[in-house]
Copies of this chain bind each other. A is one copy, B any other.
Amino acid sequence: MVDQEGTSPKPGARVDTSTCEYIGDMLARISDKWTLLVVRSLGRGPLRFSALRREVGEVSKKMLTSTLRELEENGFVTRTVIPTRPPQVEYALTDLGHDFLTPVQGIAEWVVKNSTRIDAARASYAGRV
């Protein structure tokens, strides 16, 4: 075996393996550049595609589309087409998505509360290097 990258089966996991895998899977699912940002934006109320794009920031149409598709697939948001002159599409959090907002806000609040410590740590690291 010459420095293999692949991981072989690991028998002795500390916590229930399938639960761990499930969490890991979900964390991987939400750990992309836009998902949390989009959920947070929709947490303040339903938004149309363009409004959401303005709200989130520098997200491209393509990535916003694919992020929303995946959130839809996971049951976090609904997509409603409003048949106006140029048809508009409204995105809103489902009950599940709204509940998910709680832990997400938890992170956001933690970040705000600890911003001083984070900045201090970063400054200190920059100083050491």
Report the copy number of this chain in the oligomer. 2
Given contacts A75-B120, A75-B121, whether A37 and B24 have CB atoms under 8 Å apart is: yes
Q: How many of chain A's residues have a CB under 8 angstroms from any CB in B?
A: 55
Say yes or no for A85: interface residue by CB 8 A criterion.
no
Which residues of A73-129 are within 8 A (CB) of B? 73-76, 94, 96, 99-100, 102-104, 106-112, 114-115, 117-118, 120-122, 124-125
Complex alpha-carbon distance, A14 and B54, angstroms: 12
Cβ–Cβ contact B24 & A35, under 8 A: no
Supposing A60-B5, A61-B5 touch, asked if A74 and B112 sit within 8 A by C-beta, the answer is: no
CB distance from A114 to the nearest CB of B (A): 7
- Chain B residues near A106 (CB-CB < 8 A): 102-103, 106-107
